[in-house]
């Protein structure tokens, strides 16, 4: 991989150990994937923020690089943590203190404490801009919906790119690698967010790391595309999908037709619990948009949540501030609106939760293994019907 003179000096340690370590990560990654150079990025989105998923070893690394004055060189946002103000008094003090320590380390580096998996609601990247984003759902959304360019970074490479301000030029940073190489014909119209998510999940299992063109969807909303992409990234390894049929295609591409029955099977498979009263209802994976918050407020207007059910809605601080009236309606019903975290990356079992109902296929994929809970997957409207009195 060709490095500029300045990049070579960073690699040789002339800018300090922290920058040298980050450059080594990027060079090794570039060599692994055949990159010929590094390219500047306009932003980084860093995962590896929740103490629940991160652990103590990663804290030691963050301490080491901050002690060597590591600073982000480009605008950098953070994924959700394991706590928000509502949870600080409900979880063991040592866990809360560890999480605050992580946040202080990232803040010292100059990262923005956005603590959301949907950074694009507050900071919209320019079309065709190069990014270094971790968080698979945000990567797919950025590439597929926003038209930005980012590979699916891991926590170490996203952090390294944030500090160096560059990323290896491979994968979907190259135009030729963004073209669809498999065609998916959808024979039905998904009726709600769960069916869009299940469609994405099914496609992820089929396409693996290929880039699909999904044909047959009629005017999907941005929130439906978000759910589709988040689930696609959960079951597969692709960085993006296409859904507009104006592309010029190679007619020799493999074509697969998806039937409604296959989507129903995905929903049934991911619902590890029977349709009975849940301990918790969780909405906001990925974090809710302004439109989703407004719609939820409309559904909850004048209603009250059963006090025996913990009902969480997770959003970014930005969205919560933007839609105060809707948030007030939601909270009046008994729903808890959380920021900075989500049910997947906090300790729900420590709160006595064993069964979670959600409208997110992505959450349904991760919750059983990461939180040791049973899951029920149903649309938002049904979540409201089951939880209100």
Q: How confident is the model over 304-327, as pLDDT tens digits?
A: 999 999 999 999 999 999 999 999
Could you tell me the residue range of the domain that residue 195 belongs to?
A: 179-269
The packing angle between helices 361-371 and 260-270, to 10°, is 30
Q: Is the pLDDT of residue 344 over 80?
A: yes
Q: Which of 174, 200, 222 is the last residue of a domain?
A: 174
What region, left, alpha or beta, does residue 316 occupy, with left being phi > 0 and alpha being psi -120 to 50 degrees?
A: beta
Same domain, 35 and 168: yes
Same domain, 227 and 332: no
Same domain, 284 and 255: no
The CATH number covering residue 98 comes to: 3.30.499.10
Instruction: Output the pTM of the full model.
Output: 0.97
Note whether 353 and 128 are within 8 A (CB).
no
Higher pLDDT, 48 or 140: 140
Same domain, 10 and 49: yes
Same domain, 145 and 265: no
Same domain, 158 and 244: no
- Identify the pLDDT of residue 108: 98
- Identify the pLDDT of residue 15: 97
- Identify the pLDDT of residue 389: 87
d(CA 77, CA 182): 33
CA dist 207 to 183, 237, 251, 256, 340, Å?
10, 8, 17, 10, 32
Q: Looking at residues 153-180, what average pLDDT do you find? A: 97
- Identify the pLDDT of residue 244: 85
Banded model confidence at residue 212, pLDDT cuts 50, 70, 90: very high
Q: Looking at residues 27-36, what average pLDDT do you find? A: 98
Mean pLDDT of the chain: 96
Query: Mind listing the pLDDT tens digit for each residue in 97-113?
Result: 999 999 999 999 999 99
Give me the percent of the chain exceeding a pLDDT of 70: 98
d(CA 335, CA 345): 19
Q: Is the pLDDT of residue 42 over 80?
A: yes
Q: Are strands 255-258 and 182-186 parallel, antiparallel or unpaired?
A: parallel
Same domain, 152 and 192: no
Same domain, 35 and 143: yes
Same domain, 213 and 157: no
Banded model confidence at residue 173, pLDDT cuts 50, 70, 90: very high
Q: Which of 240, 269, 298 is the last residue of a domain?
A: 269
| H or E segment and range at residue 23 | helix 17-32
Burial of 43 (0-12, 13-18, 19+ CB in 10 A): buried
Q: Which of 151, 174, 197 is the last residue of a domain?
A: 174
Same domain, 264 and 278: no
Q: Looking at residues 108-132, what average pLDDT do you find? A: 98
d(CA 116, CA 84): 12
Query: Mind listing the pLDDT tens digit for each residue in 230-283?
Result: 999 999 999 999 998 766 777 789 999 999 999 999 999 999 877 678 999 999
Same domain, 302 and 248: no
Same domain, 73 and 129: yes
Q: Looking at residues 146-171, what average pLDDT do you find? A: 98
Q: Looking at residues 126-139, what average pLDDT do you find? A: 98
**Count of domains forming the chain:** 3
Angle made by CA atoms 102, 113, 286, in degrees to the nearest 5: 100
What the block records as the tokens of 9 is 């000096």
């Amino acid at each position: 991989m060709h490095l500029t003179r300045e990049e070579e000096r960073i690699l040789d340690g002339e800018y300090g150990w922290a920058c040298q370590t980050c450059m080594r990560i990027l060079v090794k990654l570039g060599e692994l994937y055949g990159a010929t150079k590094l390219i500047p990025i306009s932003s980084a989105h860093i995962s590896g923020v929740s103490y629940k998923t991160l652990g103590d070893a990663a804290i030691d690394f963050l301490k080491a690089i901050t002690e060597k004055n590591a600073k982000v060189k480009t605008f950098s946002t953070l994924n959700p943590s394991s706590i928000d103000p509502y949870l600080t008094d409900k979880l063991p003090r040592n866990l809360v203190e560890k999480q605050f320590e992580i946040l202080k380390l990232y803040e010292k580096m100059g990262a923005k404490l956005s603590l959301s998996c949907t950074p694009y609601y507050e900071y919209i990247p320019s079309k065709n801009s190069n990014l270094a984003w971790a968080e698979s759902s945000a990567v797919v959304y950025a590439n597929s919906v926003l038209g930005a360019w980012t590979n699916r970074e891991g926590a170490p490479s996203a952090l390294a790119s944030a500090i160096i301000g560059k990323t290896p030029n491979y994968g979907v940073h190259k135009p030729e690698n963004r073209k669809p190489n498999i065609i998916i014909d959808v024979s039905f119209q998904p009726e709600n967010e769960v069916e869009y998510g299940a469609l994405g999940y099914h496609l992820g299992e089929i396409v693996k790391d290929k880039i699909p063109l999904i044909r047959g969807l009629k005017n999907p909303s941005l929130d439906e595309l978000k759910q589709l992409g988040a689930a696609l990234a959960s079951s597969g390894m692709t960085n993006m999908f296409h859904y507009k049929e104006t592309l010029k295609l190679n007619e020799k591409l493999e074509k697969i037709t998806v039937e409604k029955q296959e989507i129903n099977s995905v929903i049934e498979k991911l619902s590890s619990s029977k349709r009975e009263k849940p301990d918790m209802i969780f909405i906001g994976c990925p974090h809710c948009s302004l439109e989703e918050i407004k719609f939820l407020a409309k559904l909850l207007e004048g209603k009250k949540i059963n006090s025996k059910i913990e009902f969480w809605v997770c959003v970014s601080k930005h969205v919560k501030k933007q839609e105060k009236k809707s948030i007030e309606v939601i909270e009046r019903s008994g729903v808890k609106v959380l920021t900075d975290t989500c049910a997947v990356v906090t300790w729900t079992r420590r709160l006595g939760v064993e069964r979670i109902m959600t409208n997110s296929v992505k959450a349904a994929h991760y919750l059983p293994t990461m939180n040791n809970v049973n899951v029920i997957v149903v649309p938002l409207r049904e979540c409201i019907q089951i939880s209100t009195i």
